[in-house]
Structure 1
Amino acid sequence: MNDQIKPEASLKRTLGLFASTLMVVGIVIGSGVFKKIVPMSQTGLGETAILMAWLLAGVISLFAAFTVSALASLTEESGGLYEYFRLSYGDFLAFISGWADFIIISPAATAALAFLFGEIINSFIPLYNPLDQWKDLSIGGFIFPFANSGVKLVGISAIVILTGINTLGSRESGVFNSIITSAKILGISVLIIVGLTYSGQVAEISSTLTSSMKVPQGMLFFSAFFAAMLSAFWAYNGWETATNISGEIVNPKKNLPLALTIGLSIVALIYTLLNYSYFNVLSLEQIRAIHSNEIGAFIVAETLLGNFGKILLIVLLVICVFGALNSTIVTSPRKFYRMAQQGYLFSHLQKVHSRFRTPHVSLRYMMVIGCIMLISGSFDMLTNMVIFLNFVLYGFLAFAVLRLKRMGKIQVKVIGYPVVPMVLLLFSIALTFNTIWVQPQQSLVGIILVLSGVPFYYYFKKKKKA
């Protein structure tokens, strides 16, 4: 049977501006804004510098969104960054960018979010570990597939359930995502309002960290500020995957840029206000004193509302992480569908469900690989590469906008051109070299995994010609 999809079995455009905007917000808001305040405070930076790190990371993310929006005007097809690379640089670099997502970024993000979801459930309701007797068995001394089996089983269940929901149709998954994201925004808004209006007493938190912490000066200040921004970037990460669903957005040339701009602006505002409310409840010294493995927002919520506040935040975290996982599962398979449609990935990934009009085979691929990564537990190192790899891609896209706009191939107005793409290009270069310098081993592993796609590219190219 021919693997090529029939014309009538194509993706259906059902997502309007509102649903697309909530998709962006839903993808971005996960656990980062609740967890990153502690490590950012422990860099030694002051309150103002930390808030500026959140704000500047949001601005850079918006610059990236403006740049991607310019390229989004070139096509209405699904595929996101892969499609923009294809139109800007041709098939080879497009494939390499898509392969990075296929082999690392999307499965690792899915596994990490699912594992975190299980951990949050476990912190509230201790989970039984049915495979605990084999928890010390390892593969290579660093992969422990049977450790934390209860958490992993909950994570696997979440991936399977959400894959099933998203197979039913883009409209249904869009409605589901909109409900979850609306609940996120409502819950965080309550936390912000209560935090900003708080004027009570705070219990003392003792730690050697507060007395030994030194405020960085000179170049050390910029290094600490850069480290704080990297933490913030992880919280902003994922918005670009919303471009993968262009083929299911109504009037994507208009609505996708608007959704990216509005969505990221909402997120930046929420993040800055929420972190400001943290400092209104706890002093900087008290936040620094929190153990790095703890979630700082838990202490804030408990201070505001006692045990009820902690329970409320756990529920909010469950909603946020579950929603981010759902959004990742919705968007990522659309890129693999488009790559297969172009002949540069396994042909069965381009199949569309005859009834629900969704890329069900790509969804199942993401489910299986995400579950394998979750079981292995090896995704921690991979997720550390996500920011690094994403900014390498952003740098290429910024250069593409500068080149295509000068050639007259981009007809729409590019917000802030040429300053915005130029700033993004320079920042991406700086971040890439800094990451290679600071984390050479992880960077090398990431580069090797991405370059492993080169022989696959020539395999698919040869197969396509045949």
Structure 2
Amino acid sequence: MSVPKEKAHLARTLGLWSTIALVVGGVIGSGIFLKPSLMASQLGSPLLLLFVWILAGVITLFGALSNAEVAAMIPETGGQYIFFKKMYGDFVAFLYGWSAFIVINTAGVASIAYVAGTYAEYYISLPRFSIEVEQAVYLYIPGIGRIYPLVNIGVKLFTIGIVLILTFINYRSTKAGAGLQVLFTLIKVASIMLLIFGIFTIGDGSPNNYVTSAATAPEGWALVLAIVAALSGAFWGYDGWNNITFVAGEIKNPQQNIVKSLLIGLLSCIVIYALIIMAYLFVMDISAIASASFVASDAAQLAMGGIGGALIALLVIFSGIGSTNANIMATARVTFAMAQEKRFFSWTANIHPAFQTPANALALHAIWTCLLVLSGSFDMLTDMLIFVSWLFYGLSAFGVFVLRKKMPDAHRPYKVWGYPFVPATFVIITFFFLILTLANDITNYLTGRAPIINSLFGLLLVVLGTPLYFYFKKKERQ
């Protein structure tokens, strides 16, 4: 049983290595192992594929460094929820916290764990209904589209098992969750390096793959839209870096360790992703990558035979589990912080008396995450959460300017490098990315290429939080 505490504080138990592991483990999950196929089909160019992954990493780093100034200035558990409250007031802060719960964090956990469950089928055959049954049951949302809950039911149940087990571990101990994260991150990074080394040294590759484009490569305005769509996939690959801000109140020496962990962690991810894309291209041309069901396993199998494919499938499972754990450990803290501020259901502010963890918030997140796993597809979940995430990332970076004006004399242990160029560039890029993504989604839905307008669905879930905000405000006054 959890017991409430007035503004109870979680212990500062996370050191630099744990926080770096949280960044790397939170970022390297499913994106690099699944998204390159779709991105290759969109771009049709190997050099553009590599460029988009690096560009997405640099843009993400700009946003992370902008957020780091605020995180070092306000090192409190709750991350961007607390930041938005200082920047824009209660309403925007609540909408972010609600969005983090209803879309960003829970859909992120669902998507990452879903990929781990998908790759488990490399070893075991999971049950599923016939296509007729899968398509017969759906939820229609007027003006938005349809979602199909029974598709890949075996994978979804396996995924739910991953979510529940990892939630149980983090429910019982923050240190156990962090220790597990360090272990998974070390295994993941070491395995990726071995994979890259194996492909380049054992694989029978061709340098021509790096310069040979597909016959259907887009041009002109179509190329611009293709790059925007591909960036969405790459941004998903880098998502999770902000987990570090959610547990700022549990980090030792946060003013230094937050900045160091973001810089070291994201630069490591950019290098690792670039090497992985180059490894894929060494043994597969852009058309082969575009048609691959599981590009990572296919590349490993081409280079090292069947054992290579099996190894990378296992790697993806471990990577997905590690990234799922990082997100579970960090993201429930937003709901916890909102409840402490009486902006969410009060029972989610309870700290477990024995385990000293935000137990009820973790349990609530697990339940909603499992429902998202059942109700959505991988692409729908990732696309809508990236759209909503980047809406708030842009607001957060703009908030650097807001706080410099509102709180000019506040102590800033770290000031964003390249101010004002870095945060301004990030805000401008984010604005155009969101506009073009929305246009792309609507076009794909109207032309029958997608069953749902993912970005609008995400916005709908965000807007549903508005009446809840006024409910909690009224309850607070009473």
Q: TM-score, normalised by structure 1?
A: 0.91
Provide the C-alpha distance between the structure 2 equivalents of 1:131 and 1:44, rounded to a whole number of angstroms.
33
Residues 45, 221 of structure 1: 8 Å contact kept: no
Aligned counterpart, 1:464: 476
Provide the C-alpha distance between the structure 2 equivalents of 1:444 and 1:146, rounded to a whole number of angstroms.
22
Aligned counterpart, 1:91: 90
Provide the C-alpha distance between the structure 2 equivalents of 1:372 and 1:185, rounded to a whole number of angstroms.
31
Aligned counterpart, 1:248: 250
Q: How does 1:412-431 map to 2 (within 5 A)?
A: 412-431=414-433
Code of the aligned partner of 1:14: T
Aligned counterpart, 2:22: 23
Q: How does 1:72-151 map to 2 (within 5 A)?
A: 72-128=71-127, 138-140=137-139, 145-151=149-155
> What's the offset of the Cα at 1:4?
4.1
Provide the C-alpha distance between the structure 2 equivalents of 1:285 and 1:137, rounded to a whole number of angstroms.
33
Aligned counterpart, 1:262: 264
Provide the C-alpha distance between the structure 2 equivalents of 1:372 and 1:285, rounded to a whole number of angstroms.
36
| Greater shift in the superposed pair: 409-418 or 300-309 | 409-418
Provide the C-alpha distance between the structure 2 equivalents of 1:33 and 1:24, rounded to a whole number of angstroms.
15
Aligned counterpart, 2:163: 159
Provide the C-alpha distance between the structure 1 equivalents of 2:56 and 2:463, rounded to a whole number of angstroms.
28
Provide the C-alpha distance between the structure 2 equivalents of 1:351 and 1:343, rounded to a whole number of angstroms.
12
Aligned counterpart, 2:456: 444
1:48 and 2:52 aligned: no
Provide the C-alpha distance between the structure 2 equivalents of 1:223 and 1:163, rounded to a whole number of angstroms.
38
Aligned counterpart, 1:5: 5
| Greater shift in the superposed pair: 362-371 or 143-152 | 143-152
Provide the C-alpha distance between the structure 1 equivalents of 2:199 and 2:467, rounded to a whole number of angstroms.
54
Provide the C-alpha distance between the structure 2 equivalents of 1:264 and 1:277, rounded to a whole number of angstroms.
20
Residues 131 and 45 of structure 1: is their aligned pair in 2 closer, same or farther, counting only changes over 3 Å?
closer
Residues 285 and 86 of structure 1: is their aligned pair in 2 closer, same or farther, counting only changes over 3 Å?
same
Residues 278 and 2 of structure 1: is their aligned pair in 2 closer, same or farther, counting only changes over 3 Å?
closer
| Greater shift in the superposed pair: 403-412 or 444-453 | 403-412
Aligned counterpart, 1:221: 223
Residues 336, 349 of structure 1: 8 Å contact kept: yes
Residues 119 and 382 of structure 1: is their aligned pair in 2 closer, same or farther, counting only changes over 3 Å?
closer
Provide the C-alpha distance between the structure 1 equivalents of 2:154 and 2:136, rounded to a whole number of angstroms.
16
Residues 381 and 414 of structure 1: is their aligned pair in 2 closer, same or farther, counting only changes over 3 Å?
same
Code of the aligned partner of 2:396: L
Q: How does 1:311-322 map to 2 (within 5 A)?
A: 311-322=310-321
Aligned counterpart, 2:401: 402
Residues 156 and 314 of structure 1: is their aligned pair in 2 closer, same or farther, counting only changes over 3 Å?
same
SS of residue paired to 2:14: coil
Residues 173 and 53 of structure 1: is their aligned pair in 2 closer, same or farther, counting only changes over 3 Å?
same
| Greater shift in the superposed pair: 172-181 or 450-459 | 450-459
Provide the C-alpha distance between the structure 2 equivalents of 1:402 and 1:272, rounded to a whole number of angstroms.
32
Code of the aligned partner of 1:242: I
> What's the offset of the Cα at 1:226?
2.5
Residues 350 and 235 of structure 1: is their aligned pair in 2 closer, same or farther, counting only changes over 3 Å?
same
Amino-acid identity (%): 35
| Greater shift in the superposed pair: 441-450 or 302-311 | 441-450
Residues 224 and 379 of structure 1: is their aligned pair in 2 closer, same or farther, counting only changes over 3 Å?
closer
Figure out how many residues of one structure are paired with residues of the other and give that number. 456
Residues 335, 344 of structure 2: 8 Å contact kept: yes
Code of the aligned partner of 2:199: G
Q: Among 185, 189, 192, which residue is 2:193 paired with?
A: 189
Provide the C-alpha distance between the structure 1 equivalents of 2:463 and 2:154, rounded to a whole number of angstroms.
35
1:343 and 2:342 aligned: yes
> What's the offset of the Cα at 1:201?
6.0
> What's the offset of the Cα at 1:455?
1.3
Residues 10, 357 of structure 1: 8 Å contact kept: no
Could you tell me which runs of 5 or more consecutive residues in structure 1 were left unpaired when the two chains were aligned: none
Aligned counterpart, 2:450: none
Provide the C-alpha distance between the structure 2 equivalents of 1:249 and 1:324, rounded to a whole number of angstroms.
19
| Greater shift in the superposed pair: 374-383 or 241-250 | 374-383
Residues 201 and 139 of structure 1: is their aligned pair in 2 closer, same or farther, counting only changes over 3 Å?
closer
> What's the offset of the Cα at 1:110?
2.1
Residues 170, 248 of structure 1: 8 Å contact kept: no
Residues 198, 281 of structure 1: 8 Å contact kept: no
> What's the offset of the Cα at 1:6?
5.0
Aligned counterpart, 2:375: 376
Provide the C-alpha distance between the structure 1 equivalents of 2:375 and 2:204, rounded to a whole number of angstroms.
45
Provide the C-alpha distance between the structure 2 equivalents of 1:136 and 1:214, rounded to a whole number of angstroms.
31
Residues 196, 277 of structure 1: 8 Å contact kept: yes
> What's the offset of the Cα at 1:3?
6.9
SS of residue paired to 1:175: helix
Provide the C-alpha distance between the structure 2 equivalents of 1:33 and 1:432, rounded to a whole number of angstroms.
22
Provide the C-alpha distance between the structure 1 equivalents of 2:229 and 2:155, rounded to a whole number of angstroms.
30
SS of residue paired to 2:9: coil
Provide the C-alpha distance between the structure 2 equivalents of 1:199 and 1:126, rounded to a whole number of angstroms.
29
1:191-226: CA deviation from partner (whole Å, max 9, x where unpaired): 111223346268xx9xxxx99723333333333333
Residues 203, 302 of structure 2: 8 Å contact kept: no
Code of the aligned partner of 1:391: W
Provide the C-alpha distance between the structure 1 equivalents of 2:2 and 2:474, rounded to a whole number of angstroms.
18
| Greater shift in the superposed pair: 167-176 or 123-132 | 123-132
Residues 203, 304 of structure 2: 8 Å contact kept: no
| Greater shift in the superposed pair: 245-254 or 51-60 | 245-254
Residues 105, 382 of structure 1: 8 Å contact kept: no
Residues 203, 303 of structure 2: 8 Å contact kept: no
| Greater shift in the superposed pair: 423-432 or 100-109 | 100-109
Residues 66, 257 of structure 1: 8 Å contact kept: yes
Aligned-pair RMSD on alpha carbons? 2.6
Could you tell me which runs of 5 or more consecutive residues in structure 2 were left unpaired when the two chains were aligned: 141-145, 443-452
Code of the aligned partner of 1:306: G
> What's the offset of the Cα at 1:388?
1.0
Q: How does 1:286-325 map to 2 (within 5 A)?
A: 286-288=288-290, 290-291=291-292, 294-325=293-324
Code of the aligned partner of 2:455: S
Residues 32, 234 of structure 1: 8 Å contact kept: yes
Q: TM-score, normalised by structure 2?
A: 0.89
Q: Among 182, 197, 204, which residue is 1:200 paired with?
A: 204
> What's the offset of the Cα at 1:86?
0.7
Residues 163, 366 of structure 2: 8 Å contact kept: yes
